């Protein structure tokens, strides 16, 4: 097995610019910030949703509602993958009816995480609309699911890995493509 | 390497501290599931779980059933009485017949110590011990650990005294193993006739007087005194037991610190515990019951994964992807 090759796709500045643009598009999608709820997917989606929230506060003076989803219990691969060691927190506002939820995640790949997130949100309420914003769309969908808002499109091969590193979790901001790893 | 549980949960004695922490940490998010308006996640959809209870039980059986249903598993309850067991069918034959109907898991309570292991070695389904004789009651031990951790913020270094009939108690045994592995100081207190000989060799302190135990402990786990023990001559009378070993308000008032009071239920009010203590501010007895569902959901989830060796590979390979 050859050593994996790591290529930088986005640096900290590029991530910042992408999030800035995504924040504007999210406001447009939700028709303002009043009914908007940003729901991050554990774990880096939660950090990204937080950052977008900070941008919206700074530039629109709006305090948007936040939520977090851990979709582990809604996965369809327990038999294949086995249990996840640590399940993160799930918290959503009490009232979802009539809200515009924008799901925020770091990487969109097969679409199965988003399928699970939609199922989970449906167990909590009936929002007026659910949108999807991802920092990276790497292609490779296995379900008919597409993002409304994309920070950057990255054509990755099936065996590649796209790592989104965030300062809050990983100590630095970067998006890297890892090619030729174990796949 | 993240620890895994393997095929069965037979007791806390065979588990490592790491495995115990895995179960307790996994139980945390399951607490929140029971607080939702829709108290259900699809995690074990399509799995069939048989609750096989050869001894009567209300709390444990219902707690397992809630845990199973909140994970969307399909459940069947079989009681020892009124089934083919009464007609003399052996345990293995019963289990093999169930397996022939393609089940995934068995939760079993049985009056014989070692019954859970006996079964686990003979069937492919996961086996969860819901109490076997005087051996272990691992999920009760786990929910006690979780409750202590909730209350004190830690288990390591906590001083926990288990009071009552230690000799016949599977709850005591599971507690002792779990607490020792997580670094707690463990003591027992009860009439000499109800303490196992040589228990000090495990590193457990023995108190002969409940007053001494109360002066020492952060936590008292007060066990149910099985009323049949009196008839068997282990204690002179229930009143005498209450007078000497009862956990009363007056005794607790003399403690140097506030104690956390656990009881696995069902309680004999006025025998091992004063009603005012059971309903008092330091009692976490109902909190234990709530935690029981979360801890059992965690155990079922961790066992149902089936191929835990893949979990680690999947985690590193998929991180940052889906």
- Confidence (pLDDT) at A2: 65
Across A163-180, average pLDDT: 94
Alpha helices in chain A, H assignment, sequence order: 12-30, 44-60, 78-81, 112-122, 167-170
pLDDT in tens, A31-79: 999 999 999 999 899 999 999 999 999 988 989 999 999 998 998 877 7
DSSP at B21: H
Instruction: Let me know the angle formed at the C-alpha of B297 by A169 and B61, rounded to the nearest 5 degrees.
Output: 165
- Confidence (pLDDT) at A106: 97
Please say if B59 is a catalytic residue: yes
Query: Above 90 in pLDDT, residue A172?
Result: yes
Across A7-29, average pLDDT: 96
Across A139-150, average pLDDT: 97
Residues B291/B293/B299/B303 CA torsion (nearest 10 deg): -170
Is there a contact between A82 and B308 if contact means CB atoms under 8 Å apart? yes
- Confidence (pLDDT) at B226: 81
Give me the helix-helix angle, B138-152 and B17-33, nearest 10°. Answer: 80
Rounded to whole angstroms, the Cα distance separating A64 from A52 reads: 10
Rounded to whole angstroms, the Cα distance separating B1 from B312 reads: 7
Is there a contact between B314 and A85 if contact means CB atoms under 8 Å apart? no
- Confidence (pLDDT) at B82: 65
> By C-alpha distance, which of A44, A1, A178, A55 is closest to B317?
A178
How far is CA A84 from each of CA A71, A81, A177, B48, B310, rounded to the nearest angstrom? 11, 8, 24, 21, 10
- Confidence (pLDDT) at A77: 79
pLDDT top residue among A80 and A26: A26
> What b/e string do you get for A68-102 counting C-beta neighbours within 10 Å, with b at 16 or more?
bbbbbbbbeebeebbbbbbbbebebeeebeebbbb
Nearest chain A Cα distance for residue B306, angstroms: 6
Domain boundary assignment for chain A: 8-77+85-158
Rounded to whole angstroms, the Cα distance separating B291 from A11 reads: 45
Nearest chain B Cα distance for residue A33, angstroms: 26
Complex ipTM > 0.85: no
Please say if B109 is a catalytic residue: yes
Catalytic residue among B47, B109, B149, B296: B109
Catalytic residue among B59, B269, B282, B287: B59
The overall pTM is greater than 0.80:
yes
User: For domain A8-77+85-158, which architecture applies?
Assistant: 3-Layer(aba) Sandwich (3.40)
Compute the residue count for chain A.
183
- Confidence (pLDDT) at B314: 43
Contact B128, B103 (CB under 8 A): no
- Confidence (pLDDT) at A1: 54
Across A16-42, average pLDDT: 96
> What b/e string do you get for A5-31 counting C-beta neighbours within 10 Å, with b at 16 or more?
eeeebbeeebbeebbeebbebbbebbe
* pLDDT, block means (10 residues), chain B with 322 residues: 85 96 93 90 94 92 97 92 71 89 95 95 95 97 98 98 95 98 98 93 96 98 85 86 96 95 95 96 96 97 67 42 39
Q: If interface means Cβ-Cβ distance under 8 Å, which residues of chain A face chain B?
A: 44, 70, 72-75, 78-91, 106-107, 109-113, 119-120, 123-124, 138, 161-164, 181-183
**In the block, which residue shows the tokens 């940003």?**
A38
- Confidence (pLDDT) at B30: 93
- Confidence (pLDDT) at A80: 73
Task: Give the one of B43, B311, B322 whose C-beta lies nearest to A85's C-beta.
Answer: B311
Residues of A in contact with B41 (CB under 8 A): 73-74, 120, 123
- Confidence (pLDDT) at A97: 93
In this structure, what token pair is assigned to residue B171? Answer: 């709850």
Residues of B in contact with A181 (CB under 8 A): 317
* Helices vs. strands in chain B: H and E counts, helices first: 13, 9
Is there a contact between A83 and B305 if contact means CB atoms under 8 Å apart? yes
């Amino acid at each position: 097995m050859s050593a994996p090759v790591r290529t930088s796709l986005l640096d900290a500045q590029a991530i910042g610019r992408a999030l800035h643009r995504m924040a504007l598009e999210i406001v447009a999608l939700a028709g303002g910030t009043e009914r908007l709820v940003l729901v991050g997917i554990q774990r880096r989606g939660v950090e990204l949703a937080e950052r977008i929230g900070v941008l919206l506060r700074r530039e629109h003076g709006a305090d948007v509602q936040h939520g977090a989803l851990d979709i582990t219990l809604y996965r369809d691969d327990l038999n294949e993958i086995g249990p996840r060691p640590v399940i993160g927190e799930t918290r959503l506002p009490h009232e979802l009816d009539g809200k515009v939820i924008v799901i925020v995640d770091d990487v969109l790949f097969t679409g199965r995480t988003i399928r699970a997130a939609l199922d989970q949100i449906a167990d909590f309420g009936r929002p007026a609309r659910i949108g999807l914003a991802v920092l990276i769309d790497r292609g490779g969908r296995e379900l008919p699911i597409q993002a409304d808002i994309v920070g950057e499109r990255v054509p990755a091969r099936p065996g590649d890995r796209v790592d989104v590193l965030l300062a809050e979790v990983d100590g630095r901001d970067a998006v890297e493509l890892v090619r030729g790893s174990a796949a | 390497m993240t620890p895994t549980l393997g095929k069965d949960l037979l007791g806390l004695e065979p588990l490592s501290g790491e495995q115990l922490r895995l179960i307790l940490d996994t139980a945390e998010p399951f607490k929140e599931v029971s607080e939702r308006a829709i108290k259900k996640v699809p995690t074990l959809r399509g799995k069939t779980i048989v609750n096989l209870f050869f001894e009567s039980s209300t709390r444990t059986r219902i707690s397992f059933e809630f845990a199973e249903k909140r994970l969307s598993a399909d459940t069947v309850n079989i009681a020892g009485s009124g089934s083919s067991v009464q007609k003399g069918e052996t345990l293995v034959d019963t289990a093999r017949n169930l397996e022939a109907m393609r089940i995934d898991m068995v939760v079993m309570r049985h009056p014989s110590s070692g019954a859970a292991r006996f079964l686990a070695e003979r069937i492919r389904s996961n086996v969860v011990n819901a109490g076997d004789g005087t051996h272990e009651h691992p999920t009760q031990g786990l929910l006690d650990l979780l409750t202590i951790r909730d209350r004190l913020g830690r288990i390591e270094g906590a001083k926990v005294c288990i009071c009552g009939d230690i000799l016949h108690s599977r709850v005591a045994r599971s507690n002792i193993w779990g607490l020792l592995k997580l670094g707690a100081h463990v003591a027992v207190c009860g009439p000499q006739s109800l303490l196992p000989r040589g228990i000090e060799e495990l590193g457990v302190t023995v108190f002969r007087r409940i007053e001494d135990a109360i002066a020492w402990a952060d936590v008292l786990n007060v066990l149910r005194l099985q009323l049949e023990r009196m008839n068997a001559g282990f204690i002179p009378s229930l009143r005498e037991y209450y007078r000497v070993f009862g956990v009363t308000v007056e005794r607790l008032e003399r403690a140097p610190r506030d104690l956390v009071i656990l009881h696995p239920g069902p309680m004999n009010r006025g025998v091992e515990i004063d009603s005012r203590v059971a309903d008092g501010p330091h009692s976490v007895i109902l909190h234990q019951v709530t935690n029981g569902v979360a801890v059992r959901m965690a155990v079922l989830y961790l066992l149902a994964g089936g191929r835990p060796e893949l979990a680690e590979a999947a985690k590193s390979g998929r991180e940052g992807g889906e």
